[in-house]
Amino acid sequence: MSITKKFNILGHEFYRDAFIMMIAMTLSNFFNYLYQLLMGRFLTPKEYGELFSLLSLFYIFSVLFTTINTSITKFTAVYNVNNEYGKIKSILIKATKSFTLLGIGMYIVLVLLSPIISSFLNIEDNMYVIALFASIPFGLILPAYQGILRGLQRFEALGISLSSWAFFKLLFGFGLVMFGYGVLGGVLGVFLAHVGGFLITLLFLKDLFGYKHNHDIELKDIIKYSGLAFLAIFAYTTMWNIDVILVKHYLSPLEAGNYSAISVLGKIALFAPGAVSMVVFPKAAEKYERGEKHLHILLKGLVLVFLISGGVVLLYALFPKFIIAFIYGEKYLSVAPYLWRYGLAMMFLAMSGIVMNYALSINMTQIFYPLIGTLLLEMGIISFLRTSLGGIVNGMIFVSALAFFLTALLLWRKIK
């Protein structure tokens, strides 16, 4: 019996699929945070600050990956409604060819820019940047494959794909650190995770090769939709990564390491409900294409995010010192007062993410306007308050709450 049937007791398709993805995302988050925990334990604060600033930079670049995933999900959902599996196969083939060439080109450019990137982050070894961005070719293809699974609403397969990537990152990253490769081992784990995730995800799509190839689909249709979606996703993703990069640039290595610890834990409130947006987008897109009502999907998503993220923030407010000491040890206890506040900021960003995903699923790409505005505001606030960790965290709360309010207001006015 499949997982879907076993949990049919949940009584509603949305909650059932959200539950499946929540299990998968919980595993992914567990592996990701175990990775962060072990890196924090076995690297010095200076090395940990270097590794986390590199990963934060990579996550900003990965906005392109998320845009690909979102766009492929959208078009796959459209073709799935009409049972046009030949077109979905065409997306798979053309995406593989195009994104492989694009990824190789991007990697060559980033290798040439690696001295500048390393200098900005105050990192002496360029090899860290070169090794990390070797993931880009696979990083472009993998989200395309996962977008097809998401658009087809094959949430069990998608969950395995996502959790296996996180497991491979932990397995290879920590293993290489233990063998003495330090920060280089940590970033090589990301590359090997992309390779492993690519192979596993491709296996889940092998049935598509049995359909007749449809040559009518053009990637330019997907790229046209992706343009404005990219701006929204770029602004949103950058909002929860740029603070770590700016702190690494402005503050001392020790303070940057301390802030990284706050960020890693605080982002649990952002990532814990990540499964909800994975389900909201394809389901809202499907109902939109069928001409059915879909606002209730947004409301259910927001309620789930508030309950999950709010629970995390509450735990941080009640037991900050215990949580930090248990996960990182006493060397990071000085940042305990900031933990629940950073978590609150991430809760507002998680709710903004639900609004953004819903808006993009119904072709409301202008949602990027308030997100870009609040991103610029965030960068200005951090630059102005760069000498105070507490001030930066408070600034993050203000900006993230404003982002949720403005995106929700724009969506409400559009629907009304």
pLDDT (tens digit, 9 = 90+) per residue, 176-227?
988 888 888 888 999 999 999 999 999 999 998 888 776 666 666 677 778 8
Apex CA 220: angle with CA 215 and CA 223, to 5°?
130
Give the percent of the chain with pLDDT over 70: 95
The model's pTM is 0.77
Q: Tell me the average pLDDT across 88-110.
A: 90
Burial of 78 (0-12, 13-18, 19+ CB in 10 A): middle
Burial of 122 (0-12, 13-18, 19+ CB in 10 A): middle
Cα 99 to Cα 205, 262, 312, 332, distances in angstroms? 17, 35, 37, 41
Provide the mean pLDDT of the chain: 87
Burial of 138 (0-12, 13-18, 19+ CB in 10 A): buried
Give yes or no for residue 352 having a pLDDT over 90. yes
Q: Please count the CA atoms within 13 angstroms of the CA of 232 that sit on its side-chain side.
A: 27
Alpha-carbon gap, residue 189 to 193, rounded angstroms: 6
At residue 219, the pLDDT reads 62
Q: Residue written as tokens 């696979």?
A: 138
Which amino acid, 259? Y
What DSSP string describes 250-287?
HS-HHHHHHHHHHHHHHTHHHHTTHHHHHHHHHHHHHH
Chain centroid to CA 156: 19
At residue 217, the pLDDT reads 66
Alpha-carbon gap, residue 177 to 332, rounded angstroms: 21
Which amino acid, 332? Y
Q: Residue written as tokens 């880009």?
A: 136
Give yes or no for residue 162 having a pLDDT over 80. yes
**Are the CB atoms for 309 and 347 separated by under 8 Å?**
yes
Give yes or no for residue 152 having a pLDDT over 70. yes
Q: Tell me the average pLDDT across 243-258.
A: 81
Cα 22 to Cα 14, 18, 145, 313, 392, distances in angstroms? 12, 6, 20, 18, 31
Domain boundaries, the chain: 3-415
At residue 6, the pLDDT reads 46
> Among 352, 313, 7, 315, which Cα is nearest to 159's?
7
- CB under 8 Å to 128, separation ≥6 — which residues? 50, 54, 118, 183, 184, 187
Which amino acid, 337? P
At residue 407, the pLDDT reads 96
At residue 1, the pLDDT reads 44
Alpha-carbon gap, residue 73 to 328, rounded angstroms: 37
Alpha-carbon gap, residue 401 to 290, rounded angstroms: 33
Q: Residue written as tokens 């060819």?
A: 97
